[in-house]
Structure 1
């Protein structure tokens, strides 16, 4: 049968006609479906603005906490329980709420905003070792300034919640992680260093913070290093903590003696420290100990301990960060290499030593502000008659034992030597 006649016969076949019709309907539906998806995508790009915030970004928790306190927020939350010690010594339980995973809606001015918190069950954040999450904000229009204003408000809210508090960060894995709850900032005057010593360091730090352009104009790296050395218990770490509170800075603590810390990790943490923070290298002399005589710990096999060259490169190497304040503490300055102590690595050295008469008088008046000055004079004289080397930690502990009886405290300093 000729081909034209065969095609004509198929055209008269009812089954073929119905199948061809269904095929055309399916093809048309597929084209419409794909066209609709493309049209929606084009409309989203042209008429909407979307902001995605991953869990690894600093603003992630700021935005969640800011959204949760809004009155127009939907009532679907996740909770984080926190414990706080009250003045009475009892523990208070607090609850912080954030939007739960899923979709939420609110108004930002006159614009509706859709909030989607998405938690990936099969993915884990590489740095934080927690389920990977994102928060996606979507609103009408093509104005990204709306989200910029939202982020600024969320940041201001977070800073207000942390006002008069000091954050402590410690290394966790490959990143800095907040250690414990924020600590109440300590007044700088509550740390009794030698007369003029606190003021001298405070003025130097403030001058450094306000002179970034001066450093740039002269081609000098904008960083400053401080070394506080002296016997234990004399207030080195306490002063740094109080100074951070006055400057509204956080503290990033690095233990040089940590056997898990290598030169590469030290450099990484020095460069990646959170903004507006003080880096504290505690007991920096630990890097100069002779470890060849120490018993070998099987856990340390394959570990590269911090070396002198690693510390020097982290402080002022080619890739070291700028705008950075580093405080180092040691009880044994004689163990430190001269290369570490040169200007550019350690710019300011302060000897924080045992308490003198004037310090003990100030400490007495700080603990017993309503008492007669003669008690403080008697206390300092009696202490120095008993022993020459008294740390402020010993003085503070003694005052806390007798905080209700200043007269007894001034006359019975012999208990301090027990």
Structure 2
């Protein structure tokens, strides 16, 4: 009997091949989404996967997908039978998320092992298709990057109005960098590019980065240097594992270390050092093929070591709106109202007006160009009170 069992085990090892997909791997979520759209599996145990869909009017609907639950299930893929075994261990949890450890094991005949790659590639394409035409914003979660909220519709580049040729200059520089990886490699230059956008609050720094990501069909990874528990090692790791085709954004870079010092007495646990940040940006272990954007309202507070070439290659001042920008913004909201636009600009010319405050005024009078002009004095009064 023991000989029969051993022979059966040997036969199984020779004829069958298995693939394990742990829950920490991205393919785990992709495969479950794929299973949710393919109902040709045989199972009596189901689990629910809840997802959300954002519509064009910004409303959100909830979708419940039924997927195979823990246990063994069977389905046919490209003519080959496959067994899916979903295992969950409640005693083992992900330290960062608190979710129970889980793994999916696919088993099929050895001759069909190449189908695993086809299946996972198909699952990946299905997952990516859901984000087509959208920008995914990631934030750090433990040692990984996690999507923050729902994918957002790509922000049109033309919706951001900068002064003169500033927008075109930055976009051209980024695209030139992306198309010249081989040039950097041949010359032994680290394939990294750093940008610093500085200027007063509301000048459109973050909006431009979002629009640039849409233009490039990139996503955005936002890294908060003041995050509780962030260390030099974790910072370096996060900057090394940034998802492909993503811009890394460090907002309000000037405030990161000020906040930490100011709250140390209250037990604040941010342990990122200035030297740790510098090493993460361009040290020996710094990642290649990376685009970093930093923003600040106070460039004078930045240490020269942070903004030297190699860490910051391009600096751009996004200032309060000029007369030309005011007019373009007015005409963007009220097309064809050239005369009203000129009168509006004449009343505000020379005043420190941010793009954000101007947009807020136009949104309030979104279909009333004459009202937007008539209430400009009230707008000026509100500016003086800020």
Taking structure 1 as the reference length, the TM-score comes to: 0.85
Range that drifts further, 399-408 or 75-84: 75-84
TM-align CA RMSD = 2.1
Deviation at 1:175, TM superposition (A): 2.2
2:323 aligns to what?
357
1:413 aligns to what?
376
For residues 369 and 332 of structure 2, the distance between their equivalents in structure 1, rounded to whole angstroms, comes to 12
Q: For residues 138-176 of structure 1, what are the alpha-carbon distances to aligned partners after superposition, in whole Å with 9 as ceiling and x for unaligned?
A: 112334321111111111111101112222222222322
Distance 1:202 1:38, change over 3 A: farther
1:219 aligns to what?
188
1:322 aligns to what?
288
Deviation at 1:85, TM superposition (A): 5.6
- Within the alignment, does 1:52 sit opposite 2:15 as a pair? no
For residues 273 and 84 of structure 2, the distance between their equivalents in structure 1, rounded to whole angstroms, comes to 48
Give the 5 Å matches for 1:256-295. 256-289=225-258, 294=262
Assess if the C-alpha contact under 8 Å between 2:260 and 2:270 holds in 1. Answer: no
Deviation at 1:345, TM superposition (A): 0.4
Assess if the C-alpha contact under 8 Å between 1:236 and 1:352 holds in 2. Answer: yes
Distance 1:59 1:82, change over 3 A: closer
2:341 aligns to what?
376
Q: For residues 295-320 of structure 1, what are the alpha-carbon distances to aligned partners after superposition, in whole Å with 9 as ceiling and x for unaligned?
A: 644432xx453222111101000101
Q: Which runs of 5+ in 2 are unaligned?
A: none
For residues 360 and 117 of structure 2, the distance between their equivalents in structure 1, rounded to whole angstroms, comes to 50
1:132 aligns to what?
101
- Within the alignment, does 1:72 sit opposite 2:40 as a pair? yes
Assess if the C-alpha contact under 8 Å between 1:378 and 1:411 holds in 2. Answer: no
Assess if the C-alpha contact under 8 Å between 1:287 and 1:307 holds in 2. Answer: no
Q: Secondary structure at the match of 2:67?
A: strand
For residues 334 and 199 of structure 1, the distance between their equivalents in structure 2, rounded to whole angstroms, comes to 26
- Within the alignment, does 1:165 sit opposite 2:134 as a pair? yes
Assess if the C-alpha contact under 8 Å between 1:263 and 1:304 holds in 2. Answer: no
For residues 97 and 368 of structure 1, the distance between their equivalents in structure 2, rounded to whole angstroms, comes to 48
For residues 39 and 271 of structure 2, the distance between their equivalents in structure 1, rounded to whole angstroms, comes to 52
1:25 aligns to what?
none
Q: Secondary structure at the match of 1:35?
A: helix
Distance 1:136 1:186, change over 3 A: same
- Within the alignment, does 1:193 sit opposite 2:162 as a pair? yes
Assess if the C-alpha contact under 8 Å between 1:103 and 1:115 holds in 2. Answer: yes
Q: Secondary structure at the match of 2:111?
A: coil
- Within the alignment, does 1:343 sit opposite 2:309 as a pair? yes
For residues 101 and 324 of structure 1, the distance between their equivalents in structure 2, rounded to whole angstroms, comes to 39
Q: Secondary structure at the match of 2:255?
A: helix
Aligned pair count reads 380
Range that drifts further, 403-412 or 96-105: 96-105
Alignment counterpart, residue 108 of structure 1, candidates 77, 87, 99: 77
For residues 58 and 132 of structure 2, the distance between their equivalents in structure 1, rounded to whole angstroms, comes to 22
- Within the alignment, does 1:255 sit opposite 2:218 as a pair? no
Q: Which runs of 5+ in 1 are unaligned?
A: 1-31
For residues 40 and 364 of structure 1, the distance between their equivalents in structure 2, rounded to whole angstroms, comes to 78
Range that drifts further, 220-229 or 84-93: 84-93
Q: Please state which structure has a larger fraction of its residues in helix.
A: 1
For residues 182 and 264 of structure 2, the distance between their equivalents in structure 1, rounded to whole angstroms, comes to 49
1:95 aligns to what?
64
